[in-house]
Amino acid sequence: MQSRSPLCRKGRPRSAAADAAILAATREALVDLGWSKLTLGDVATRAGVAKTTLYRRWAGKNELVLDAVAELFHELELPDRGSLAADIEGVVLQFAAILSRPEARSGLMAVVAESTRDDALRERIRAAVVDPQKDLVTEGRARARERGEIPPDLDPAEAARKVDLVFDVVAGAVVHRTLVSAEPADERWVGEFTRLLVLGLAGA
């Protein structure tokens, strides 16, 4: 799986162990307390670090929670299952499984809501969560072209628009299914959704 580096931040050299402990403690606090009751003080206690350590690394609660949730999405990988449809099913099932976790649900919904009035946070969400997932779409389309399952991209700008569209369709459908409708994105639903999506991609 391709590794993805955390967002770069200015300041003193960082301890990877401390970062890992803080982000894990944040996810634990999201499960135990939820977004509204989570505080940086509680996270610091759980992680065994000083509260000032958190403030040196993150501007506030929004940024901390986003990075903690983003780590979950960094686990996503595009499996090579032999066909475009099977590859899509594999990654969508992973995506749905992540969204089913309580720390992902509460954390993601909260930071997305906060980003509606915070442009910097919105950009951070794009860099930490959205762009790495779009890379998976690009990888999947390249693999499908090599198999002859979809036509080649002749215009780079058009190819980029298709990547954006595919990502929006997949992410939008799965997020709405799991977080808004609170329905399971199980294998049956994912299979039906994948067939619908692949028919559209093949037609394009």
pTM: 0.83
Do the Cβ atoms of 70 and 121 come closer than 8 Å?
no
Residues 6 or more apart whose Cβ sits within 8 Å of residue 121: 62, 63, 66, 111, 114, 115
Residues 6 or more apart whose Cβ sits within 8 Å of residue 73: 98, 129, 132, 133
77-81 long-range contacts, CB within 8 A, separation 24+: 77/1, 77/2, 77/136, 78/136, 78/139, 78/140, 78/143, 80/143
Q: What is the pLDDT of residues 81-103, one digit of tens each?
A: 999 999 999 999 999 999 999 99
Domains detected in the chain: 16-57 (1.10.10.60), 70-203 (1.10.357.10)
Q: What is the pLDDT of residues 17-55, one digit of tens each?
A: 999 999 999 999 999 999 999 999 999 999 999 999 999
Average pLDDT of every residue of the chain: 89
